[in-house]
Amino acid sequence: MSDILTGYVIKTNDVKDNDVILSVYTKEYGVVSLYARGIKKSTSKNAFACQLFDYSEFLIEMNQMKSMQLLKSATLKKEFLGIRSDYDRLSLASVVIELAGYLEEDNIFDLLDTTLKLLDSHKELFTVFELFVVRYLDLLGLSPEVDGCVLCGDTRNIETISVSDGGFVCRNCNRQLHLKPRDAGFLKNFRIINKASFKVLDKIEGLGLNEYRLSALLMEFLMTHSGLTVRSWRSVSGSQ
């Protein structure tokens, strides 16, 4: 039986000859593996719609008994030229699709869709990335504590952030931890981004959230508490 799926190519694995296995994040079924025969041949009509980040329609031979479906043809619906042509956008989008692949059971299609469209063109690309990571942490139940000290609950005299303890730490508790104090502006921004969502993106623009340091701290939280090794994060550059 044939079926049509629409989704994002989030991973490609070369197999033998000119064949490739595609992981496609679909709205209907989450992550689906498609076996794409011969798409590395220069004559392949489908290759154009099967590249990483492509949003395409896939005609497949559906076999519900199998975990991998056979691709018959693919049609490109949206190409992300902004992501493809800019190193920072490309590296952040690579982290997004890698992370999406780890959550194949929770369907995060809408989150992926919103994030990639904004990463393609929005001027505050790190802010967009941070909103994705904040939502991802929330889905895993790993949101940092930013309402008060994670150790004693005190809401005053917040001095720093402890990744291993999971959030803000007050001056008193930091006498034992000896973590480097953070400046007040950074602590404030860390709280804002953790309380924010894509719905308020236009309201948080220009607040100074668009920076590598904040993205890196959120990724440190994510990797420490989820146990995931996010390989593509290594290529994100802090030299903006």
Binding residues among 127-156 for Zn ion as defined by CB under 5 A? 149, 151-152, 154
Contact 34, 60 (CB under 8 A): yes
Take residue 90 and report the two structure tokens written for it: 């490309």
Of 47-55, 73-81, 173-181, 217-225: span binding Zn ion (CB under 5 A): 173-181
Between 91 and 174, whose beta carbon lies closer to Zn ion? Answer: 174
Of 75-83, 113-121, 165-173, 196-204: span binding Zn ion (CB under 5 A): 165-173
**Interface pick for Zn ion out of 118, 125, 170, 236 (rule CB under 5 A):** 170
Residue 160 CB coordination number (10 Å):
19
Between 153 and 208, whose beta carbon lies closer to Zn ion? Answer: 153
Take residue 28 and report the two structure tokens written for it: 């209907």
Contact 24, 5 (CB under 8 A): yes
Between 123 and 175, whose beta carbon lies closer to Zn ion? Answer: 175
Between 13 and 155, whose beta carbon lies closer to Zn ion? Answer: 155
Contact 159, 171 (CB under 8 A): yes
- Which residue stretches of the chain are H helix? 81-85, 87-102, 109-121, 125-139, 171-177, 184-195, 201-204, 212-226
Q: How far is the CB of 224 from Zn ion (least distance, A)?
A: 20
Between 152 and 200, whose beta carbon lies closer to Zn ion? Answer: 152
Return the amino acid letter for 36.
A
Q: How far is the CB of 142 from Zn ion (least distance, A)?
A: 20
Question: Does the protein bind Zn ion through residue 177 (CB under 5 A)?
Answer: no
Q: Rounded to an integer, what distance in angstroms lies between the CA atom of residue 70 and that of residue 58?
A: 10
Question: Does the protein bind Zn ion through residue 161 (CB under 5 A)?
Answer: no
**Interacting residues with Zn ion (CB under 5 A):** 149, 151-152, 154, 170, 173
